[in-house]
């Protein structure tokens, strides 16, 4: 089983989390809204998807902010984590997907194995903290329901296919 742990202020990341739940299989994944469940899933799941939007010029979404310090005291060394970010590449081009990058950095520092990098090719932005070292990929799936809502479904579908082997063998 894979835990999909998401936070969402205006519902876009929640919608994406629900789509991932469907594409990976509702019998193989369980949804947790950070607002209600906090990080309780970390106790029971070794395979996780963390989903969050970036808000307020490079800030972490409010519900994730509430559990932010807890991540530093969690051992991720036996855990596999994939990341999903939601952002707006035109209005916030300097901070596109920053929150995903910030969460990734913390989780990696605590020993997690990360899967699900995603190519930057179909986006236009100026800067992002969510890039991998070679800057050709994001550390996780980047979604943009403000500027490219028509691409979300296909991106989710393809990314789910990509991570299936890592999560389900």
Ligand X SMILES: Cc1cc2nc3c(=O)[nH]c(=O)nc-3n(C[C@H](O)[C@H](O)[C@H](O)COP(=O)(O)O)c2cc1C
Interaction with ligand X in 59-78: which residues (CB under 6 A)? none
- Stretch of residues binding ligand X (CB under 6 A), selected from 6-14, 18-26, 32-40, 104-112: 6-14
> In the complex, what is the shortest distance from the CB of residue 59 to ligand X, in angstroms, rounded to a whole number?
7
Q: Indicate whether 54 belongs to the interface with ligand X (CB under 6 A).
A: yes
- Of 29 and 54, nearer to ligand X (C-beta) is 54
| Residue at shortest CB range from ligand X | 87
Return d(Cα 95, Cα 104) in angstroms, integer: 15
Return d(Cα 32, Cα 89) in angstroms, integer: 26
Q: Indicate whether 23 belongs to the interface with ligand X (CB under 6 A).
A: no
- Stretch of residues binding ligand X (CB under 6 A), selected from 20-28, 31-39, 49-57, 105-113: 49-57
Rounded to 5°, angle at Cα 108 from 21 and 168: 35
- CA torsion sign for 35, 37, 38, 44 is negative
Residue linked to tokens 């903290």: 129
Q: How far is CA 15 from CA 69, 90, 151, 155, in A?
A: 26, 21, 14, 13
Residue 80-99 contact track with ligand X, rule CB under 6 A, x = bound: ------xxx---x--xxxx-
Q: Indicate whether 145 belongs to the interface with ligand X (CB under 6 A).
A: yes
Instruction: Please say whether the beta carbons of 121 and 86 come within 8 A.
Output: no
Site of interaction with ligand X (CB under 6 A): 8-13, 53-58, 86-88, 92, 95-98, 145-146
């Amino acid at each position: 089983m894979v835990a999909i742990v998401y936070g969402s202020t205006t519902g876009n990341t929640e919608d994406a989390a629900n789509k991932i739940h469907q594409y990976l299989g509702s019998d193989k994944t369980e949804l947790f809204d950070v607002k209600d469940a906090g990080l309780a899933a970390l106790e029971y799941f070794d395979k996780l998807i963390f989903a969050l939007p970036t808000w307020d010029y490079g800030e972490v979404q409010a519900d994730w902010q509430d559990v932010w310090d807890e991540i530093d005291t969690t051992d991720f060394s036996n855990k596999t984590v994939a990341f999903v970010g939601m952002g707006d590449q035109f209005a916030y081009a300097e901070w596109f997907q920053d929150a995903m990058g910030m969460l990734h950095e913390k989780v990696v520092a605590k020993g997690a194995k990360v899967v699900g990098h995603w190519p930057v090719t179909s986006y236009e932005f100026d800067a992002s903290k969510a890039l991998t070292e070679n800057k050709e990929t994001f550390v996780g799936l980047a979604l943009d329901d403000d500027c490219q809502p028509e691409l979300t479904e296909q991106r989710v579908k393809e990314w789910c296919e990509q991570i299936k082997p890592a999560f389900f063998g």
